[in-house]
Amino acid sequence: MLPHALARLSSQLAGNQLVLHYLTERDHAWLRALIDEYERGVGSKRSELFTRLKEPLATPAPKAKQRWAVEVLQRLTEGRAKAAIPPRDARWATFVAAATVAAPRSEVLKNAALLLGTDAESLDVALFADLRSESTTGALPAELSPEKIALDANLRLVSSWMQRARGVRITAWGNTRALVRQARLHGLICNIRRAAPPDTASSAARSAVASGLDAVTESPTEGVELEISGPLALFRHTLIYGRALSALIPRALWCHRFELRADCQTGSASTIATLTVRTGDPLRVGRELAPYDSQLEARFAKDFRKAAPDWNVVREPRPVESLGSLIFPDFELVHRHDPTRRWLLEIVGFWTPKYLEEKLRKLRAARLENVLLCIDQERGCSDAELPKDARVIRYRRRIDARAVLAVL
């Protein structure tokens, strides 16, 4: 994240569109100069070095972009300084000594240093070594390059604007499940529709390479359109969902292809502009997301594969369209030798009979009969009877793969 003032400096309003001035290859030369200047300042006071880094560099840089890159460099190098004595111990010993005896500064430091088994100079250095604004500059992480700073800075710029988003519309193809989950996890209202297929296969391939996803072999097929906003957004312009909306970006970057449009507050509450982020934008793609949403799911997949070697476990089955919305089942179980034998499996955490009834109603409307619900015995919030026609397996902490197999 960037301070909003910096994000504004690196952005521009074009009508009602918010245009971000990303750091690109053209900026690498001055970013290299910035890194060199940083390395010359290793060992000096961080606050002084970072003030200096904002001054003109050996290679000229656009002023706003330079300030933004300096801010990012500051974040990327935090907490690397070390002191000979733990600074907290140094402070306590020194300030107590100063309160005890009225003596000149050098004398106090000398006495406190004796207590800590060090010398006055080291003690003086250690006093504020752990405080962000007072610490000394540590060495750069070895892997830091102009490219990495640029991609990281761009991602932070987008995230900063997303923090000021009120609502988001995303169209995404392939690997969309994590995106949908993320939206629902944060209690956002997420309206989902099926999206038209992407324009052409070639454009999809091009965008996958551009975003660093070329290792992903799965072809982008299934698409969804998401409209995401928070409950309170009905009543007032609120930025309370900014954090949750911002958390969608790393998920979107792992989709095969996506386009995100966010309505962001640019100034006062009434000034709104649209930010567009899409596949191919120069953003840092984070760590690959875990293949399972929970330990429970991971354990079930492992147990079931072991217990039922004749069945395939499909982690992310096609979403099911029903009553105007999409359902994302957790697993699809498909028989290896008879692919017509297919079951959808849904794991339900918190539940009420009403919720299960509604879920079954939607599945029935989609003409799906082979559906199995695994419900958490401990987290149910009602003792009332379950719907009569539900095929349910109750579990406590672990889903019994054999019990599932017995139903199929």
Residues at the site binding other proteins, with contacts judged by CB under 8 A? 5, 8, 47, 88, 91-92, 94-99, 102, 105, 108-109, 127-128, 131-134, 187, 189, 191, 227, 229-232, 234-236, 238, 240, 243, 267, 269
Cα–Cα distance, 82 to 92 (Å, whole number): 18
Cβ 216 to other proteins shortest distance, Å: 32
Q: Per the structure block, which two tokens stand in for 135? A: 């610490």
Cα–Cα distance, 93 to 86 (Å, whole number): 11
Mapped onto helix, strand or coil, the DSSP state of residue 101 is coil
Query: Please, are residues 283 and 150 in contact by the beta-carbon 8 Å criterion?
Result: no
Cβ 91 to other proteins shortest distance, Å: 7
Query: Please, are residues 365 and 325 in contact by the beta-carbon 8 Å criterion?
Result: no
Looking only at the bridges linking them, the beta strands covering 257-265 and 272-278 are antiparallel
Q: Which is nearer to other proteins, 138 or 282 (CB)?
A: 138
Q: Per the structure block, which two tokens stand in for 198? A: 């992407």
Cβ 123 to other proteins shortest distance, Å: 11
Cα–Cα distance, 297 to 292 (Å, whole number): 6
Cβ 348 to other proteins shortest distance, Å: 19
CB atoms within 10 A of CB 72: 23
Q: Which is nearer to other proteins, 84 or 125 (CB)?
A: 125
Q: Which is nearer to other proteins, 160 or 279 (CB)?
A: 160
Cβ 117 to other proteins shortest distance, Å: 19
**b or e along 76-98 (b: 16 or more beta carbons within 10 Å of the residue's beta carbon)?**
bbeeebebebebeebbebbeebb
Cβ 119 to other proteins shortest distance, Å: 16
Q: Which is nearer to other proteins, 63 or 305 (CB)?
A: 63
For residue 63, with 0-12 CB atoms within 10 Å meaning exposed, 13-18 middle and 19 or more buried, which class applies?
exposed
Q: Which is nearer to other proteins, 125 or 334 (CB)?
A: 125
Cβ 93 to other proteins shortest distance, Å: 11
Q: Which is nearer to other proteins, 12 or 219 (CB)?
A: 12
Query: Please, are residues 140 and 36 in contact by the beta-carbon 8 Å criterion?
Result: no
| Percentage helix, strand, coil for the chain under 3-state DSSP, each rounded to 5 | 40, 20, 40
Residues in contact with 71: Cβ distance below 8 Å, sequence separation at least 6, in sequence order? 2, 3, 6
Cβ 235 to other proteins shortest distance, Å: 5
Cβ 162 to other proteins shortest distance, Å: 16
Q: Which is nearer to other proteins, 54 or 305 (CB)?
A: 54
Q: Which is nearer to other proteins, 102 or 142 (CB)?
A: 102
**Neighbouring-strand partners of residue 273:** 264
DSSP 221-279: --EEEEEEE-GGGGTS---TTHHHHHTHHHHHTTSSEEEEEEEEE-SSTT-EEEEEEET
Q: Which is nearer to other proteins, 70 or 374 (CB)?
A: 70
From residue 300, alpha-carbon distances to 108, 241, 295, 303, 315 in Å are: 64, 33, 8, 5, 11
